[in-house]
Structure 1
Amino acid sequence: MKKLILHIPHSSTIIPSLQGYVVEQDILNAEMGKLTDWYTDELFSNPTDVSLVAPFSRIFCDPERLTDDSQEVMAKFGMGVLYETLDNGDKMREVTAHNRAFILENFYDPHHKKLNSSVLEQLQLTEKALVVDCHSFPSVPLQRALVQDTNTPDYNIGTDAFHTPQKLIDFSKDYFENLGYSLGIDTPYSGTMVPMEHYHKNKQVQSIMLEVNRRLYLNEPINQKSESFEHTKSVVQGFLAGLRSL
């Protein structure tokens, strides 16, 4: 049976170690309030597909970032694989070489090994693997967001020219527009997760990102589920079912 690989990197609020943090807990909590992709594990997970949920907060380690700061665009803002600044630019954490190596070895690398293993298993079973990169985004852009347009779409897909076939893009456009939703394509967020082992090497590994505007399912900024949560979940699950059938 075809199973999607649901990569859910930013739903956790767990900080496994406070070593190096230079701000108080209330500031960390406020930052997580802004940066966490709230309830995306619930919106996307289902009994059919394989869910890979990062068990740590992105402000501790961001598994979506490249580990080489020279190749990671957000590193220049202090928000590379290990965040060192808050969204407003203030210092949040001092990262030593030792602490960086420890976190990458014990948190980042194991997460990516699980992702790789899931992709390889699907390739062995069906000769293809489809990764869905699962996110949400605030209705008002973060200060460090690369796109500052406040007229944000309801949903946003991110693509990769090598790993996202046109049929996935066409299906996404038809699906959301037929339901009456606006869809951004690589805006305000672009790209999608592909394991580095296969990145721009294996077209049998496909990937697409789905970003859900938090106004559709949350009461912002308190980040509580709104009355529309279950409906939004059904829309997301319908999208996943459609991808499965392609």
Structure 2
Amino acid sequence: MGRHGGSGRAAGFRVVPGAADSDVILHVPHAARLVPPEVRAKLLLDDAALAAELARMTDAHTDLLADLAARTARRTPWTFVNLLSRLVVDPERFPDGRESMRSVGMAAVYTRTSDGAVLRADDPVEEAHLLDRWYHPYARAVTDLVDARLAVRGRVTVLDVHSYPSRRLPYEIGGTGRPPVCLGTDPVHTPDWLREAGRAAFAGCGGTGLDTPFAGCYVPLRHYGRDRRVTALMVEIRRDGYLVEPDGPPTDGLAVLAGALATLVDSVDAAADDRTG
């Protein structure tokens, strides 16, 4: 599979291979705006309201940021990119009662918008259909990639690439901080060395916060809480640092932040080499 290989829009995601000796997967779940026609037909917003919601909720250009970081890093990481909007399904949410965002209608299948309006009917049958069509295949593919890297390297680090608006949206139930870069952690899967590597990599980007406004990081459910060979860190970038808000063109900040992300990738691989040596 070549540098631009992948699984295609029919699957809803793309896998971009990295170096055989890389321990890093860049996961980009919320960069896309695509809503398939059959899903759009079930959304209760008119076109203008849908466009506004996509502007608020899409982590615009984070796919470009991850791609630039991958091309800049000394050892090319693997990249997993969601090609569909999170309004189709959100692959980062738990698909069951563990998901805290269900309280605001934003579990794996959203029924409410970022300001609390009705997005789609609260229909368990439709939810199950969307999970079967999009969520579970996506989750299996990420799991398979993690397992493949574990088989080769014995460990893997998932760096979850996100962004968030400079002004708090009504749906948010997390922390109130708005740092230029937020690092989301997990008590099992984010070791101290990885957290500190994140802080060091983004030290020149205006400052970092920890688990505010968003906490946690993505780990496939098969490994979550069980396999410490899988480490993870979420990188949330405040949007005014790299684009014209809400979802306008990138600014010069994109290259700066991509360079910092590449530095983090290099730090992870160097730490893995040190542990091996």
| Fold equivalence (TM over 0.5) | yes
1:98 Cα offset (Å): 2.7
| Secondary structure in 1 matching 2:136 | helix
**Matching residue of 1:79:** 106
Which of the residues 151, 157, 177 maps onto 1:130?
A: 157
1:190 Cα offset (Å): 0.5
Q: For each residue in 1:60-95, what CA deviation from the matched residue of structure 2 results, as whole angstroms up to 9, or x when unmatched? A: 210011111x21111111111111111111111114
- Letter aligned with residue 92 of structure 2: E
CA distance in 2, matches of 1:162, 1:237: 24
| Secondary structure in 2 matching 1:224 | coil
CA contact (8 A) 2:181 2:205 kept: no
Which of the residues 27, 37, 49 maps onto 1:7?
A: 27
Which of the residues 93, 104, 109 maps onto 2:136?
A: 109
CA contact (8 A) 1:20 1:95 kept: no
**Matching residue of 2:232:** 207
Measured at CA, do residues 108 and 229 of structure 1 come closer, stay the same or move farther in structure 2, by a change above 3 Å?
same
- Letter aligned with residue 19 of structure 1: A
| Secondary structure in 1 matching 2:40 | coil
Q: Does 1:39 align with 2:39?
A: no
Q: Unpaired runs of 5+ in structure 1?
A: none
CA contact (8 A) 1:141 1:147 kept: no
CA distance in 2, matches of 1:27, 1:180: 33
CA contact (8 A) 1:43 1:237 kept: no
Q: TM-score, normalised by structure 2?
A: 0.83
**Matching residue of 1:183:** 208
Which of the residues 35, 49, 65 maps onto 1:27?
A: 49
CA contact (8 A) 1:84 1:93 kept: yes
Q: For each residue in 1:188-237, what CA deviation from the matched residue of structure 2 results, as whole angstroms up to 9, or x when unmatched? A: 11101111111111111111111111111011135221232222222222
CA contact (8 A) 2:33 2:85 kept: yes
- Letter aligned with residue 183 of structure 1: T
| Secondary structure in 1 matching 2:111 | coil
Q: Unpaired runs of 5+ in structure 2?
A: 1-20, 272-277
| Secondary structure in 1 matching 2:50 | helix
Q: TM-score, normalised by structure 1?
A: 0.93
Within a 5 Å distance, the mapping from 1:63-102 to structure 2 comes to 63-68=91-96, 70-102=97-129
Which of the residues 234, 242, 248 maps onto 1:223?
A: 248
CA distance in 1, matches of 2:208, 2:109: 30
CA distance in 2, matches of 1:8, 1:19: 26
- Letter aligned with residue 73 of structure 1: S
Identity percentage of aligned residues: 28
> What value does the CA root-mean-square deviation take over the aligned residues?
1.5
Q: For each residue in 1:8-46, what CA deviation from the matched residue of structure 2 results, as whole angstroms up to 9, or x when unmatched? A: 110010111213211101111100100100111111132
How many residue pairs are counted as aligned between the two chains?
Answer: 243
| Secondary structure in 1 matching 2:231 | strand
Which of the residues 187, 200, 216 maps onto 1:174?
A: 200
1:241 Cα offset (Å): 2.0
